[in-house]
Structures are given as C-alpha cells and as structure tokens.
Structure 1
C-alpha cells in the first residue's frame, strides 16, 4: 500500500506535498500530482500539508475516488521509477482519464 493523490488535486498543483516529501516521490503532471507507488515510504508527511485534502492512504481512499489508485500507478507506466521527482520535473504524463477531465472551476 501507498499514499494516493485523488480528485481534489486536479488543476490545483499546490506543491506543498512536494516540499514536504522526504524521499522526493511526488511527481507533477500537467493537471495534478502523483505519488510513486514503490518510491513512497508511507511516512504520511504529505497528507497533512495538502490544502485540498486530496492525499489518502490507499486503503482509506473514499469510494468515489478509488480509481485514483490506478491513475497514480498509470502515470508511472512509461516513466518508470526515476528515483527523484526533482530531476524529472513537470511532465505531460497524465493518464488519459485525468487529461480528459473538464477543467476544475475556481
């Protein structure tokens, strides 16, 4: 199990979670952030700093956002495990479902 970033993050990209992560496993897509499922050490440091409460332990994901565990894993399908979000930077690797979602209203 790992932590997962869910729907409330869409189009927010606050980055507080990136700053807090001690292992640099939170990657930035075009529309949201993603936690690498094998690089995450389950420290939970990211969860309390998320301003939109989008980060959940995978087993605790609300039912309506349960697919986001798959979307987080899909983000890394081609990217692999680079070992450092900072060296990768922002990517256009959002899964098709996320990329196709309508823009979040302010």
Structure 2
C-alpha cells in the first residue's frame, strides 16, 4: 500500500508535503508531484500538508481519481527525487480550485535547469 498524488496537484505543485516525508518518496515533475510506491511507508504525514487535498491512501483514492495510482507508479520511475520544498508554480493559486485538469498533466521529465 502507498499514498497517491491525484489530479488536484496538476498545475499547482505545492511542495509542503515534501519537507515532512521521512523517506524522500516524492518525485517532482514539470507541473505535478508523484509518490514512488516503493519508497512510501504510509506514514500519512504528507496528507495534511497538501493545501489542495491531492494526497490519498491508495485504498481511499476517490473512484474518479483511481487512474492516478498507476500514473504515480509510472512517473515516479522517470522523475527526480525532490527532498525539499520549492516555490509552487507561478499560477498555482489560479489552478488550485480547478477541477478536471488531468489533460494538463505534463508527463515529460523535468528540465534539469528548472528541476525542483
């Protein structure tokens, strides 16, 4: 079992959760974070830190967000580990309350010059 970052993180990429993770399970993409399922120890300390409520225990992921379970597993293999918080995306607050933004997910590996 693991925790999963869901659609609410897309185009926000708040990193408050990263600072509290004891196992460095977070990976940073261009416009979202994901959790590596093998590194997550299910401590749940990240859940209350997320300002957009994007993190769920995998068994509790809402049915409309279940597609993010394999997305986290897949992208966490390609994206770099992020171990400290960085500034959210410039327009994160504008996207924080937007729903149905899965199409906005940028799956490309981050640019090394701008990697969080």
Whether the 8 Å contact between 2:11 and 2:105 is mirrored in structure 1 is no
Whether the 8 Å contact between 2:4 and 2:72 is mirrored in structure 1 is yes
CA-to-aligned-CA distance 1:51-76 (integer Å, 9 cap, x gap): 00000000100011100001001103
Q: Aligned-pair distance for 1:98?
A: 2.6
Output the CA distance in 1 between the equivalents of 2:27 and 2:77: 13
- Aligned residue for 1:98? 105
- Aligned residue for 1:3? 3
Is 1:26 the equivalent of 2:23?
Answer: no
- Aligned residue for 1:66? 66
- Aligned residue for 2:82? 85
TM-score (norm 1): 0.74
TM-score (norm 2): 0.68
Q: Structure 2: where are the runs of 5+ without partners?
A: 84-102, 108-116
Task: Tell me the C-alpha RMSD between the 2 structures.
Answer: 2.3
Structure with greater contact order relative to length (CA < 8 Å, sep ≥ 6):
2
Equivalent pairs counted in the alignment come to: 89
Whether the 8 Å contact between 2:35 and 2:76 is mirrored in structure 1 is no
Q: Specify which structure has the higher proportion of helix.
A: 1
Q: Aligned-pair distance for 1:23?
A: 1.2
- Aligned residue for 2:54? 54
Q: Structure 1: where are the runs of 5+ without partners?
A: 87-95, 101-106
Output the CA distance in 2 between the equivalents of 1:12 and 1:78: 20
